[in-house]
Amino acid sequence: MSYVDEVMEIIRKKDANEPEFIQAASEVLESIRPVVDANEEVYRKAALLERLIEPERVITFRVPWTDDAGNVHVNRAFRVQFNSAIGPYKGGLRLHPSVYIGILKFLGFEQIFKNSLTGLPIGGGKGGSDFDPKGKSDAEVMRFCQSFMTELYKYIGPDEDVPAGDIGVGGREIGFMYGQYKRITGQYQSVLTGKGLTYGGSLARTEATGYGVLYFAQEILKLRGIELAGKTVAISGAGNVATYAIQKAQQLGAKVVTCSDSTGWVYDPDGIDVAALKEIKEVKRARLTEYKNYRPNSEYHEGKGVWTVKCDLALPCATQNELQLEDAKTLVANGVTMVCEGANMPTTLEATKYLQENGVIFCPGKAANAGGVATSALEMSQNAERLSWTFEEVDSKLKQIMINIAHNVSDAAAKYGFEGDYVVGANIAGFEKVADAMLAQGIV
Q: State the residues that interact with ligand NDP by CB under 6 A.
A: 165-168, 170, 209, 237-242, 261-262, 317-319, 342-344, 369, 372
Catalytic residue among 90, 105, 114, 126: 126
How far is it, in rounded angstroms, from Cα 308 to Cα 360? 16
> Do 398 and 375 form a contact (C-beta atoms < 8 A)?
yes
Which of residues 211 and 389 has its CB atom nearest to ligand NDP in the complex? 211
How many alpha carbons fall within 13 Å on the CB side of residue 171?
16
Residue closer to ligand NDP (CB basis): 7 or 75: 75
Of 112 and 238, the one with the shorter C-beta distance to ligand NDP is: 238
Nearer to ligand NDP, 50 or 130 (CB): 130
Residues 149 and 180 sit within 8 Å (Cβ to Cβ):
yes
Q: Which residues contact 295 (CB under 8 A, 6 or more apart)?
A: 268, 270, 273, 276
Residue 357: CB atoms within 10 Å: 10
Question: Is the separation of the CB atoms in 372 and 398 below 8 Å?
Answer: no
Output 83 or 376, the one with its CB closest to ligand NDP.
Answer: 376
SS3 content of the chain, % helix, strand, coil (to 5): 50, 15, 35
- From CA 178, how far away is CA 181, in angstroms rounded? 5
Reply yes or no on whether 231 is catalytic.
no
Q: Which residues contact 330 (CB under 8 A, 6 or more apart)?
A: 307, 308
* Shortest distance in whole angstroms from residue 345 CB to ligand NDP: 7
What residue is closest to ligand NDP based on CB? 239
- Least Å from the CB of residue 77 to ligand NDP: 17
In the complex, least distance from residue 210 CB atom to ligand NDP, rounded to whole angstroms = 8
Minimum separation from the CB atom of position 48 to ligand NDP (A): 26
Measured from the CB of residue 144, what is the shortest distance to ligand NDP in angstroms? Answer: 15
Catalytic center residues? 126
